[in-house]
Structure 1
Amino acid sequence: MTNLANKQKGTFTIELVMVLILFSFVVVFTMDIVSKQAVAGKLDRLAYSTVSLIKERTQLFDGEDDMSTVEAATFLRLVSESLEATMESFDSSRLGVFIEQQRFNSEQQPISSGSGNGTFDLGGYNCEPATRLSQKLELAPVTNFGNRLTLYQVTICYRTDNMFGELMGETWELARSTAISVAR
Protein backbone atom coordinates (compact mmCIF):
# COMPACT_ATOMS: atom_id res chain seq x y z
CA MET A 1 0.00 0.00 0.00
CA THR A 2 2.75 2.50 0.88
CA ASN A 3 4.52 1.82 -2.44
CA LEU A 4 1.35 2.83 -4.35
CA ALA A 5 1.00 6.01 -2.25
CA ASN A 6 4.65 6.95 -2.96
CA LYS A 7 4.08 6.46 -6.72
CA GLN A 8 1.00 8.71 -6.57
CA LYS A 9 2.96 11.41 -4.70
CA GLY A 10 5.69 11.27 -7.35
CA THR A 11 3.14 11.54 -10.16
CA PHE A 12 1.47 14.48 -8.42
CA THR A 13 4.84 16.23 -8.01
CA ILE A 14 5.69 15.78 -11.70
CA GLU A 15 2.27 17.08 -12.77
CA LEU A 16 2.55 20.04 -10.38
CA VAL A 17 5.98 21.00 -11.77
CA MET A 18 4.65 20.82 -15.33
CA VAL A 19 1.64 22.99 -14.46
CA LEU A 20 3.85 25.53 -12.65
CA ILE A 21 6.22 25.74 -15.63
CA LEU A 22 3.28 26.29 -17.97
CA PHE A 23 1.82 28.88 -15.59
CA SER A 24 5.15 30.74 -15.41
CA PHE A 25 5.25 30.90 -19.24
CA VAL A 26 1.74 32.39 -19.23
CA VAL A 27 2.73 34.97 -16.58
CA VAL A 28 5.88 36.03 -18.47
CA PHE A 29 3.93 36.20 -21.75
CA THR A 30 1.26 38.37 -20.12
CA MET A 31 3.87 40.68 -18.58
CA ASP A 32 5.59 41.02 -21.95
CA ILE A 33 2.34 41.82 -23.78
CA VAL A 34 1.28 44.38 -21.15
CA SER A 35 4.64 46.17 -21.29
CA LYS A 36 4.58 46.24 -25.11
CA GLN A 37 1.01 47.56 -25.13
CA ALA A 38 1.97 50.32 -22.70
CA VAL A 39 4.85 51.38 -24.97
CA ALA A 40 2.64 51.10 -28.07
CA GLY A 41 0.05 53.39 -26.45
CA LYS A 42 2.71 56.00 -25.77
CA LEU A 43 3.98 55.69 -29.33
CA ASP A 44 0.43 56.05 -30.72
CA ARG A 45 -0.15 59.31 -28.86
CA LEU A 46 3.30 60.61 -29.72
CA ALA A 47 3.04 59.73 -33.44
CA TYR A 48 -0.31 61.50 -33.68
CA SER A 49 1.01 64.57 -31.86
CA THR A 50 4.17 64.68 -33.96
CA VAL A 51 2.37 64.42 -37.30
CA SER A 52 -0.01 67.15 -36.13
CA LEU A 53 2.92 69.42 -35.29
CA ILE A 54 4.56 68.67 -38.64
CA LYS A 55 1.43 69.56 -40.59
CA GLU A 56 0.96 72.76 -38.58
CA ARG A 57 4.60 73.85 -38.67
CA THR A 58 4.05 76.16 -41.64
CA GLN A 59 1.25 77.93 -39.75
CA LEU A 60 2.89 77.91 -36.32
CA PHE A 61 6.50 78.65 -37.21
CA ASP A 62 6.26 80.39 -40.59
CA GLY A 63 8.07 77.42 -42.13
CA GLU A 64 8.50 76.44 -45.74
CA ASP A 65 6.46 73.77 -47.46
CA ASP A 66 9.50 71.50 -47.76
CA MET A 67 10.68 69.99 -44.49
CA SER A 68 14.40 70.34 -43.84
CA THR A 69 16.80 67.92 -42.20
CA VAL A 70 17.16 70.37 -39.30
CA GLU A 71 13.40 70.37 -38.75
CA ALA A 72 13.30 66.57 -38.89
CA ALA A 73 16.12 66.38 -36.32
CA THR A 74 14.14 68.75 -34.10
CA PHE A 75 11.15 66.42 -34.27
CA LEU A 76 13.38 63.46 -33.36
CA ARG A 77 14.65 65.38 -30.34
CA LEU A 78 11.05 66.23 -29.37
CA VAL A 79 10.00 62.58 -29.61
CA SER A 80 13.06 61.44 -27.66
CA GLU A 81 12.52 63.96 -24.86
CA SER A 82 8.82 63.10 -24.63
CA LEU A 83 9.53 59.39 -24.33
CA GLU A 84 12.29 60.04 -21.81
CA ALA A 85 9.80 61.95 -19.66
CA THR A 86 7.17 59.17 -19.79
CA MET A 87 9.24 55.98 -19.79
CA GLU A 88 11.29 54.86 -16.83
CA SER A 89 13.98 52.93 -18.67
CA PHE A 90 14.11 54.92 -21.92
CA ASP A 91 17.18 54.34 -24.12
CA SER A 92 17.55 56.63 -27.14
CA SER A 93 19.52 53.98 -29.07
CA ARG A 94 16.31 51.90 -29.14
CA LEU A 95 14.29 54.69 -30.77
CA GLY A 96 13.66 55.13 -34.47
CA VAL A 97 11.59 57.77 -36.26
CA PHE A 98 10.67 57.76 -39.95
CA ILE A 99 9.09 60.96 -41.30
CA GLU A 100 7.63 61.16 -44.80
CA GLN A 101 6.24 64.10 -46.72
CA GLN A 102 4.48 63.72 -50.06
CA ARG A 103 3.79 66.86 -52.09
CA PHE A 104 1.96 67.18 -55.41
CA ASN A 105 2.41 69.40 -58.45
CA SER A 106 -0.35 71.41 -60.15
CA GLU A 107 -1.35 68.34 -62.21
CA GLN A 108 -1.91 66.36 -58.96
CA GLN A 109 1.17 64.21 -59.61
CA PRO A 110 3.51 63.31 -56.74
CA ILE A 111 6.78 65.24 -56.64
CA SER A 112 9.97 64.72 -54.69
CA SER A 113 10.55 67.02 -51.77
CA GLY A 114 13.86 68.56 -50.80
CA SER A 115 17.22 66.93 -50.37
CA GLY A 116 15.87 64.03 -48.30
CA ASN A 117 13.37 63.25 -51.06
CA GLY A 118 10.65 63.91 -48.50
CA THR A 119 11.79 61.09 -46.20
CA PHE A 120 13.85 61.23 -43.04
CA ASP A 121 15.06 58.06 -41.31
CA LEU A 122 16.18 59.19 -37.86
CA GLY A 123 17.32 57.68 -34.59
CA GLY A 124 19.38 54.70 -33.59
CA TYR A 125 16.90 52.07 -34.76
CA ASN A 126 15.70 51.27 -38.29
CA CYS A 127 12.05 52.25 -38.41
CA GLU A 128 10.92 52.05 -42.00
CA PRO A 129 7.12 51.66 -42.07
CA ALA A 130 5.42 48.57 -43.44
CA THR A 131 3.57 50.71 -46.00
CA ARG A 132 5.26 53.79 -47.40
CA LEU A 133 3.36 57.01 -47.96
CA SER A 134 3.92 56.76 -51.74
CA GLN A 135 1.57 53.74 -51.68
CA LYS A 136 -1.22 55.76 -50.03
CA LEU A 137 -1.56 58.65 -52.47
CA GLU A 138 -5.33 58.18 -52.69
CA LEU A 139 -5.56 59.58 -49.14
CA ALA A 140 -4.60 63.08 -50.34
CA PRO A 141 -7.79 65.09 -50.83
CA VAL A 142 -8.28 67.42 -53.77
CA THR A 143 -9.16 71.03 -52.90
CA ASN A 144 -11.83 73.17 -54.58
CA PHE A 145 -9.03 74.64 -56.69
CA GLY A 146 -8.02 71.21 -58.07
CA ASN A 147 -4.85 70.83 -56.00
CA ARG A 148 -3.92 67.80 -53.92
CA LEU A 149 -2.93 68.53 -50.34
CA THR A 150 0.44 67.42 -48.95
CA LEU A 151 0.46 64.18 -46.97
CA TYR A 152 2.59 63.55 -43.89
CA GLN A 153 3.34 60.23 -42.22
CA VAL A 154 5.26 59.67 -39.00
CA THR A 155 6.32 56.21 -37.87
CA ILE A 156 7.86 55.80 -34.43
CA CYS A 157 9.50 52.54 -33.36
CA TYR A 158 10.92 51.50 -30.03
CA ARG A 159 12.76 48.25 -29.34
CA THR A 160 11.24 46.94 -26.12
CA ASP A 161 12.56 44.25 -23.81
CA ASN A 162 12.22 40.74 -25.21
CA MET A 163 11.19 38.75 -22.09
CA PHE A 164 8.99 36.06 -23.62
CA GLY A 165 10.95 35.98 -26.88
CA GLU A 166 14.12 35.08 -24.98
CA LEU A 167 12.35 32.12 -23.37
CA MET A 168 11.11 30.92 -26.76
CA GLY A 169 14.28 31.72 -28.71
CA GLU A 170 12.46 34.33 -30.83
CA THR A 171 12.62 38.09 -31.28
CA TRP A 172 9.41 39.91 -30.39
CA GLU A 173 10.62 43.31 -29.36
CA LEU A 174 9.40 45.96 -31.78
CA ALA A 175 6.67 48.40 -30.81
CA ARG A 176 5.63 50.59 -33.75
CA SER A 177 3.07 53.29 -34.38
CA THR A 178 2.22 55.19 -37.56
CA ALA A 179 0.13 58.34 -37.97
CA ILE A 180 -0.90 60.06 -41.21
CA SER A 181 -2.16 63.60 -41.65
CA VAL A 182 -3.06 66.01 -44.41
CA ALA A 183 -1.69 69.54 -44.66
CA ARG A 184 -3.95 72.54 -44.29
Structure 2
Amino acid sequence: MGLNTPNRQEGAFAIEMAFVLAFLVTLFLFSADLSQQVLNRAKLDRVSYSLVNLVKERQRFYEGRIALSQADFLQIRDIAARLLNKSQVEDREQFGITVQSLVEGNQTSFSKSFAGDTACEPDNSIASLSALVPENDEGKRFPLYQVTLCMTSSSWYDRAIGQHLISATSVMPGR
Protein backbone atom coordinates (compact mmCIF):
# COMPACT_ATOMS: atom_id res chain seq x y z
CA MET A 1 0.00 0.00 0.00
CA GLY A 2 1.20 3.52 -0.87
CA LEU A 3 1.03 6.71 1.08
CA ASN A 4 -1.84 8.05 -1.00
CA THR A 5 -4.40 5.58 0.20
CA PRO A 6 -7.53 7.12 1.68
CA ASN A 7 -7.25 5.46 5.09
CA ARG A 8 -3.81 7.08 5.74
CA GLN A 9 -4.94 10.66 4.91
CA GLU A 10 -7.85 11.07 7.29
CA GLY A 11 -7.50 14.34 9.21
CA ALA A 12 -4.78 15.79 6.95
CA PHE A 13 -7.18 18.38 5.57
CA ALA A 14 -8.13 19.56 9.08
CA ILE A 15 -4.48 20.00 10.08
CA GLU A 16 -3.62 21.90 6.88
CA MET A 17 -6.73 24.05 7.26
CA ALA A 18 -5.76 24.96 10.82
CA PHE A 19 -2.35 26.22 9.63
CA VAL A 20 -3.86 28.16 6.74
CA LEU A 21 -6.56 29.74 8.94
CA ALA A 22 -3.99 30.71 11.58
CA PHE A 23 -1.90 32.39 8.89
CA LEU A 24 -4.91 34.19 7.39
CA VAL A 25 -6.14 35.44 10.79
CA THR A 26 -2.64 36.73 11.62
CA LEU A 27 -2.43 38.43 8.24
CA PHE A 28 -5.85 40.02 8.73
CA LEU A 29 -4.98 41.31 12.24
CA PHE A 30 -1.66 42.68 11.02
CA SER A 31 -3.38 44.46 8.11
CA ALA A 32 -6.04 45.92 10.41
CA ASP A 33 -3.33 47.12 12.80
CA LEU A 34 -1.33 48.68 9.99
CA SER A 35 -4.40 50.44 8.59
CA GLN A 36 -5.13 51.87 12.06
CA GLN A 37 -1.61 53.31 12.13
CA VAL A 38 -2.09 54.86 8.69
CA LEU A 39 -5.34 56.46 9.90
CA ASN A 40 -3.59 57.82 13.00
CA ARG A 41 -0.80 59.28 10.88
CA ALA A 42 -3.32 60.87 8.51
CA LYS A 43 -5.17 62.36 11.48
CA LEU A 44 -1.94 63.87 12.83
CA ASP A 45 -1.09 65.25 9.39
CA ARG A 46 -4.50 66.93 9.07
CA VAL A 47 -4.39 68.41 12.58
CA SER A 48 -0.82 69.72 12.25
CA TYR A 49 -1.68 71.31 8.90
CA SER A 50 -4.80 72.91 10.39
CA LEU A 51 -2.83 74.24 13.35
CA VAL A 52 -0.01 75.70 11.27
CA ASN A 53 -2.63 77.46 9.11
CA LEU A 54 -4.21 78.84 12.26
CA VAL A 55 -0.84 80.07 13.52
CA LYS A 56 0.12 81.69 10.23
CA GLU A 57 -3.09 83.73 10.16
CA ARG A 58 -1.69 86.02 12.87
CA GLN A 59 -3.57 89.10 11.66
CA ARG A 60 -6.94 87.42 11.74
CA PHE A 61 -6.76 85.33 14.92
CA TYR A 62 -4.06 86.98 17.06
CA GLU A 63 -4.69 90.73 16.66
CA GLY A 64 -1.91 91.09 14.13
CA ARG A 65 0.86 89.96 16.49
CA ILE A 66 3.53 88.20 14.48
CA ALA A 67 5.53 86.68 17.37
CA LEU A 68 4.22 83.69 19.30
CA SER A 69 3.57 83.92 23.03
CA GLN A 70 3.05 81.33 25.76
CA ALA A 71 -0.68 82.20 25.84
CA ASP A 72 -0.90 81.56 22.07
CA PHE A 73 0.80 78.20 22.55
CA LEU A 74 -1.65 77.20 25.29
CA GLN A 75 -4.57 78.04 23.00
CA ILE A 76 -3.03 76.03 20.17
CA ARG A 77 -2.41 73.10 22.51
CA ASP A 78 -6.06 73.15 23.64
CA ILE A 79 -7.27 73.27 20.03
CA ALA A 80 -4.98 70.34 19.17
CA ALA A 81 -6.42 68.36 22.09
CA ARG A 82 -9.95 68.96 20.84
CA LEU A 83 -9.08 68.09 17.24
CA LEU A 84 -7.39 64.87 18.39
CA ASN A 85 -10.34 64.00 20.67
CA LYS A 86 -8.06 64.27 23.70
CA SER A 87 -9.82 67.06 25.56
CA GLN A 88 -9.95 65.23 28.91
CA VAL A 89 -7.10 66.03 31.30
CA GLU A 90 -5.87 62.41 31.45
CA ASP A 91 -5.94 62.14 27.63
CA ARG A 92 -3.64 65.15 27.19
CA GLU A 93 -0.64 63.06 28.21
CA GLN A 94 -1.13 60.91 25.10
CA PHE A 95 0.11 63.52 22.63
CA GLY A 96 2.88 66.09 22.41
CA ILE A 97 3.13 69.31 20.49
CA THR A 98 5.89 71.71 19.48
CA VAL A 99 5.19 75.08 17.90
CA GLN A 100 8.12 77.02 16.46
CA SER A 101 8.37 80.38 14.75
CA LEU A 102 11.10 82.21 12.89
CA VAL A 103 10.36 85.94 12.84
CA GLU A 104 13.00 88.36 11.54
CA GLY A 105 15.75 85.85 12.31
CA ASN A 106 14.58 85.21 15.88
CA GLN A 107 13.56 81.65 16.69
CA THR A 108 10.83 80.96 19.25
CA SER A 109 9.83 77.48 20.38
CA PHE A 110 7.15 76.17 22.72
CA SER A 111 6.75 72.50 23.51
CA LYS A 112 4.61 70.09 25.54
CA SER A 113 6.10 66.67 26.27
CA PHE A 114 3.96 63.55 26.57
CA ALA A 115 3.97 60.01 27.95
CA GLY A 116 6.20 60.94 30.82
CA ASP A 117 9.08 63.02 29.53
CA THR A 118 9.06 62.11 25.84
CA ALA A 119 9.84 65.24 23.85
CA CYS A 120 7.99 65.99 20.64
CA GLU A 121 10.76 67.27 18.40
CA PRO A 122 10.51 67.97 14.66
CA ASP A 123 12.90 66.26 12.27
CA ASN A 124 14.30 69.64 11.16
CA SER A 125 14.60 72.70 13.35
CA ILE A 126 12.94 75.80 12.03
CA ALA A 127 16.32 77.56 11.74
CA SER A 128 17.42 74.99 9.16
CA LEU A 129 14.33 75.83 7.10
CA SER A 130 15.12 79.54 6.79
CA ALA A 131 15.63 79.14 3.03
CA LEU A 132 11.86 78.61 2.75
CA VAL A 133 11.12 82.13 4.02
CA PRO A 134 9.77 84.28 1.18
CA GLU A 135 10.49 88.00 0.79
CA ASN A 136 8.19 90.72 -0.46
CA ASP A 137 9.16 93.37 -3.02
CA GLU A 138 10.67 95.65 -0.35
CA GLY A 139 12.95 92.88 0.92
CA LYS A 140 11.00 92.21 4.09
CA ARG A 141 11.08 88.55 5.07
CA PHE A 142 7.84 86.84 6.08
CA PRO A 143 7.66 84.83 9.31
CA LEU A 144 7.88 81.04 9.19
CA TYR A 145 5.87 78.74 11.47
CA GLN A 146 6.21 75.03 12.18
CA VAL A 147 3.86 72.76 14.15
CA THR A 148 4.84 69.21 15.15
CA LEU A 149 2.43 66.73 16.73
CA CYS A 150 3.46 63.39 18.25
CA MET A 151 1.56 60.41 19.62
CA THR A 152 2.70 57.10 21.04
CA SER A 153 1.87 53.99 19.10
CA SER A 154 1.01 50.62 20.54
CA SER A 155 0.62 48.65 17.35
CA TRP A 156 2.14 45.28 16.58
CA TYR A 157 3.70 46.64 13.42
CA ASP A 158 5.52 49.41 15.29
CA ARG A 159 6.74 46.94 17.90
CA ALA A 160 8.10 44.72 15.13
CA ILE A 161 10.17 47.55 13.61
CA GLY A 162 11.06 49.09 16.99
CA GLN A 163 9.18 52.35 16.55
CA HIS A 164 6.67 53.58 19.12
CA LEU A 165 6.11 57.16 18.00
CA ILE A 166 3.99 58.71 15.26
CA SER A 167 4.73 62.32 14.38
CA ALA A 168 3.63 64.86 11.81
CA THR A 169 5.16 68.23 11.02
CA SER A 170 3.77 71.08 8.96
CA VAL A 171 5.64 74.23 7.93
CA MET A 172 4.06 77.39 6.55
CA PRO A 173 5.20 80.98 5.94
CA GLY A 174 3.09 83.69 7.54
CA ARG A 175 1.59 86.69 5.85
Scaled by the length of structure 2, the TM-score of the pair is 0.81
2: distance between equivalents of 1:9 and 1:73?
69
- What corresponds to 2:126 in structure 1? 133
- What corresponds to 2:25 in structure 1? 24
SS of the residue 1:154 aligns to:
strand
- What corresponds to 1:92 in structure 2? 92
- What corresponds to 1:75 in structure 2? 76
When the two structures are aligned, how many residues end up with a matched partner?
169
SS of the residue 1:91 aligns to:
helix
SS of the residue 1:101 aligns to:
strand
C-alpha distance after superposition, 1:49-99 (max 9, x if no partner): 11111111333331532211221121111100221179xxx9321201111
C-alpha distance after superposition, 1:130-167 (max 9, x if no partner): 2222222211111111122111011111223324445x
Q: For structure 1, list consecutive stretches of 5 or more residues without a partner in the other structure.
A: 105-110
Contact 1:162 1:172 in 2 (8 A): no
SS of the residue 2:57 aligns to:
helix
C-alpha distance after superposition, 1:106-145 (max 9, x if no partner): xxxxx334xxxx1112142522112222222211111111
C-alpha spacing 1:102/1:96, structure 2 compared with 1 (3 Å): same
Contact 2:111 2:120 in 1 (8 A): yes
C-alpha spacing 1:97/1:34, structure 2 compared with 1 (3 Å): same
Q: For structure 2, list consecutive stretches of 5 or more residues without a partner in the other structure.
A: none
SS of the residue 1:97 aligns to:
strand
1:139 aligned partner, one-letter code: L
Matches within 5 A, 1:43-122: 43-84=44-85, 91-104=91-104, 111-113=105-107, 118-122=108-112
SS of the residue 1:121 aligns to:
strand
When the two chains are superposed, the root-mean-square deviation of aligned CA atoms in Å is: 2.7
C-alpha spacing 1:14/1:131, structure 2 compared with 1 (3 Å): farther
Kindly indicate whether residue 162 of structure 2 is the aligned counterpart of residue 176 of structure 1.
Answer: no
2: distance between equivalents of 1:63 and 1:39?
33
C-alpha spacing 1:132/1:9, structure 2 compared with 1 (3 Å): farther
C-alpha distance after superposition, 1:18-72 (max 9, x if no partner): 3223222211221112111222222222111111111113333315322112211
Scaled by the length of structure 1, the TM-score of the pair is 0.77
Question: Which ranges of 4 or more aligned residues in structure 1 deviate by more than 6 Å?
Answer: none
Contact 1:55 1:183 in 2 (8 A): yes
